[in-house]
Amino acid sequence: MRIVVLTGAGISAESGVPTFRDADGLWEGHRVDDVATPEGFARDPDRVQRFYDERRRALHAVEPNAAHRALARLEGALGEDLLVVTQNVDDLHERAGSMNLVHMHGELRRALCGACGARPTWEGDLVQRPSCPACGHRELRPDVVWFGELPYELDRIEGAVVACDVFVAIGTSGAVYPAAGYAALAGAFGAHTVELNLAPTLADVAFDEVRAGPASVVVPRWVEGLLA
Ligand code: BJW
């Protein structure tokens, strides 16, 4: 059985990583256009670097939760038949043990060089404009995908989505494309589609099955059901 799991900010919420669009979400105090677009970065790079530097530092204080660990357990049973596609830029899936994993919106713990395209792993701040370890230019930005930019590994993701038997969306509002279209795409190619979310989203019309509840509860329960 081939399974594709798409995760969003909701899976990391109980680890203490804020979501985007919920009350108290990341964007409550920020305009999306200012911190999540290439134009916002061009207007005020220091503001954008500080926004991501702060979030990169905050990763030290969070740990994977039961939902991340349940998906790693599922990979232990299914191997490469499970692909986890995360929209999250935190590293909680890999810290829980997931390996067959795509970060389609990039990673906080990487920088992207605007001069040479290198994507070095990065732990420190970027606001002081450090030089790129590959080419020496001082054009590093966070390796995250902003609105209007192309998400990573789309061919691999879409190949897996059209070929899977089960597609599961966990903790994502379904507000951002192309990820928001994957459930309908999987369904059109015959997959059983499942949504696991704190509350059913407006996108739930695309799903065959909807289970509501916190990810730390509904994800382990769903995995246990599959492995039983
Ligand atoms: C819980 C919970 C708990 C809470 N347990 N659940 C049509 C087609 C294609 C593109 C477009 C289109 N229309 C418009 C576009 C362009 C645009 C877009 O989608 N705009 C929308 C506003 C409409 N898309 C793009 O620009 C993308 N690129 C692109 O399209 O390239 C061209 C292309 C064309 C055709 C095909 C392919 C490509 C790029 C999008 C980049 C998004 N980047 C961000 C920022 C990343 C950096 C950062 O972290 O700051 O990614 S935006 C932000 O939203 C972030 C997230 O990954 C993304 C999704 O958010 P997510 O994860 O769903 O979070 P929330 O907060 O929205 O939802 C949380 C959910 O959790 C809620 O449902 C809660 O209920 C739930 N929850 N607690 C379980 N405990």
Q: Rounded to an integer, what distance in angstroms lies between the CA atom of residue 56 and that of residue 73? A: 26
Residues 8 and 86 in one domain: yes
Catalytic residue among 68, 93, 103, 105: 105
Report whether 173 contacts 179 (CB < 8 A): no
Q: Which atom of ligand 1 is nearest to the CA of 26?
A: 66
Strands (E), the chain: 3-7, 82-86, 101-103, 106-113, 140-144, 166-170, 192-197, 209-212
Residues 115 and 208 in one domain: no
Residues 9 and 115 in one domain: no
In the chain, how many domains are there? 2
Q: Rounded to an integer, what distance in angstroms lies between the CA atom of residue 123 and that of residue 57? A: 8
pLDDT, position 16:
96
Residues 118 and 212 in one domain: no
Q: Rounded to an integer, what distance in angstroms lies between the CA atom of residue 123 and that of residue 180? A: 30
Residues 188 and 225 in one domain: yes
Q: Please give all residues whose beta carbon lies within 6 A of any atom in ligand 1, as ranges.
A: 8-10, 13-14, 19-22, 25, 36, 87, 89, 105, 144-151, 154, 171-173, 175-178, 197-199, 201, 214-215
Does residue 105 carry a catalytic annotation? yes
Instruction: From 176, 197, 207, 210, give the residue whose CB has the most ligand 1 atoms within 8 Å, as the site to mutate.
Output: 176
Residues 165 and 207 in one domain: yes
Residues 73 and 171 in one domain: yes
| Local mean pLDDT, 10-residue blocks, the chain (228 residues) | 98 96 79 93 96 96 98 98 98 98 98 98 98 98 98 98 98 96 96 96 82 98 96
Which of 97, 128, 144 is the C-terminal boundary of a domain? 144
**The domain spanning residue 127 has which CATH number?**
3.30.1600.10
**The domain spanning residue 93 has which CATH number?**
3.40.50.1220
- The per-residue pLDDT for range 177-217, each reduced to its tens digit, is 999 999 999 999 999 999 999 998 977 677 999 999 999 99
CA geometry: angle at 29 spanning 106 and 114, to 5°? 35
Question: Containing domain of residue 224, as a range?
Answer: 1-17+63-105+151-228
> Are β-strands 166-170 and 3-7 bridged in parallel, bridged antiparallel, or unpaired?
parallel
Residues 129 and 174 in one domain: no
